[in-house]
Structure 1
Amino acid sequence: MWRAVALVSCLATAVLAGCGADGGVVIGVRPGQPGLVTRLPDGDFTGFDIAVAQYVARDLGYRDDEISYTLDPSQADLVVGADPAHGRYVAGPYLVTSTEILVRAGDLTIGRVRDLTRKRVCATQESSARLVSRFGQRWKGTFLALANVPAACAPLLADGRTDAIVADAPVLAGIEAQYPGRFRFAGKPITTVRYGIGAGSAGLRDRVDEALRHMFDDGTWKQAVIDNLGVLATRYTVPPPLTRPAPGR
């Protein structure tokens, strides 16, 4: 998740004026997040975040050939995956999920957070923060393998170099889909996570909120969950309430 969002300054004064270099819109996406953002061999992106970003951009008036993506939020006009609680102009949330635990399917020794006390865990610094706070720095130095992106943890779990991955549930579902039948979710959620879309002005944020509302209402959001979030489709059946209700509500 993008905790801090840097956006190009042109969005402070324009909504549809065409801030991208070619008059299109540049959308910041998160690397190494299976299920949310996956880069295809041809350079295109797919995933739940991409489905949301495409819908919003189209609703704002951009054609598909005017939409491009970047892994650098400082170069983006909109940034998906921003936390609505950590940004001045963040629309959404478009998903409320949780940080959870993924283990090998046959490992029955891990069923809750406290079972990780003496287990090898792979996670990003952000996802592991709650565990480090609970278990301490000695645990971090002995049992935690820090990864730049969650996707880097998948081969470590597959070949036994780590016992668990801690990451956001949609990402774990994406990793699980890449290793059919080999992994399972374990235990209860560790912490709640909200995904929003960072914008450069209050006006643009409100336009993005309206686009998300359209996506929620016409069924596209639900289909995007089914298409991209696999085993979590039965969990996320209803869109989350937007932080700012529509006028008159």
Structure 2
Amino acid sequence: MKLRKAGIATVSVLALALTATACGDDKKEGGSGSEGGGKSIKIGIKFDQPGIGQKTPDGFAGFDVDVATFVAKELGYSEDQIEFVQTPSADRENALKNGDVEFIAASYSINDEREKLVDFAGPYLLAHQDLLVKADSDIAEGTDLNGKKLCSVAGSTSAQNVKKEIAPKAQLQERGTYSECLEGLAGGSIDALTTDDSILAGYAAQDQYKGKFKLAGLKLSNENYGIGVKEGNKDLKDKINKALEKMVADGAWEEAVKKNLGPAGYKNEPAPKIGVIVK
């Protein structure tokens, strides 16, 4: 009887050990996480920015999409393990804070206020704020916007920059998406749309709008695009930075820029150095 009890105890200990090991493996391999190799990963992008991040009938396309996909692969995820989540400008910080996404690549400019709320990998693109106007518009200088209707999206700093720096009397019109601003510009209810030149170039290059709009060519600010991660997640930030460095080194970065923004005649700045913010 004593031997039988000992045998049962041994089997029980072994079973517990195997269960603990299995649980440990599930924790490591399952779910969305920054370690890679998980079942899926949720990444925040824009759904309505041609050339940057856009949801199409064939899937997702744009420079940010290509960057996010490259980074995810370096973290250990295949394309079919990526779940893209729409993250409007006003929702980006909350999406990271609440854990709705693992990281965000959504024309996310690094600035002091945002760095108080989230951490940034990168930058991975240097863009400049500009204006998009109708092809026959006489708006050439920022001061011409005084009294004009200026559109941007809620949560963006672009329109506030214009009002503060060059056109304090511009009439700010906020919309939920850039597409809504563009519709207003095409219809005449908006005089100018302002955001980064990379985004504006993508809109101007769309087939239905070719020849109808023009970029004013003003470098109103420097916009350092970064990949947002939850505050304090240094491990994920470091891994993303390594992935971005690899993307530049092997030519994939330049290829992505030309494929997504080149058709609009966009002249990009050289790939920025990781951690170097151009003011």
TM-score range, shorter chain: 0.7 to 0.9
From 220, 232, 240, the equivalent of 1:190 is: 220
SS in 2 for 1:89: strand
Say if 2:75 is the partner of 1:39: no
Q: Distance in 2 between matches of 1:215 and 1:78?
A: 17
The two structures, once aligned, show a CA RMSD in angstroms of 2.1
Structure with greater Cα Rg? 2
Residue in 1 that maps onto 2:248: 216
Aligned counterparts, 1:3-82, within 5 A: 14-16=34-36, 18=38, 23-42=39-58, 44-72=59-87, 73=95, 74=98, 75-81=100-106, 82=108
Say whether residues 1:167 and 2:195 are aligned partners: yes
TM score, norm. by length of structure 1: 0.81
Show the counterpart of 2:10.
none
For these two proteins, the number of residue pairs brought into alignment is 223
1:99 aligns with 2:115: no
Corresponding residue SS for 1:188: coil
How far residue 234 of structure 1 moved from its aligned partner, in angstroms, is 5.3
Deviation at residue 118 of structure 1 after TM alignment:
2.6
Q: Which moved more, 1:213-222 or 1:230-239?
A: 230-239
More helix as a share of residues: 2
Q: How does 1:85-96 map to 2 (within 5 A)?
A: 85=111, 86-87=114-115, 88-96=118-126
Deviation at 1:50, TM superposition (A): 0.2
Tell me by how many angstroms 1:166 deviates: 0.7
Matched residue type, 1:238: P
- 1:109-138 CA distances to partner (integer Å, 9 max, x unpaired)? 1111111113222212422111233444xx
Distance 1:48 1:71 in 2: 15
Tell me by how many angstroms 1:187 deviates. 4.0
Q: Counterpart of 2:219 in 1: which secondary structure?
A: strand
Higher deviation after alignment, 121-130 or 56-65: 121-130
Aligned to 1:229: 261
C-alpha change, 1:164 and 1:154, in structure 2 (3 Å) is: same
Contact 2:201 2:266 in 1 (8 A): no
TM superposition outliers: structure 1 runs of 4+ over 3 Å: 81-85, 230-234
The letter of the residue matching 2:148 is K
- TM-score norm. by structure 2 comes to 0.73
Higher relative contact order (CA 8 A, sep 6+): 1
Displacement of 1:237: 5.1
Give the percent of matched residue pairs that are identical in Structure 1 and Structure 2: 32
Moved more, 231-240 or 206-215: 231-240
- Cα offset for 1:34? 2.3
Report the Cα distance in structure 2 between the residues aligned to 1:102 and 1:111, rounded to whole angstroms. 10
Contact 1:31/1:149 (8 A) holds in 2: no
Distance 1:58 1:97 in 2: 25
Distance in 2, Cα, partners of 1:132 & 1:223: 36
CA distance in 2, matches of 1:147, 1:232: 24
Deviation at 1:78, TM superposition (A): 1.2
Distance 1:58 1:33, change over 3 A: same
Q: Which moved more, 1:88-97 or 1:214-223?
A: 88-97
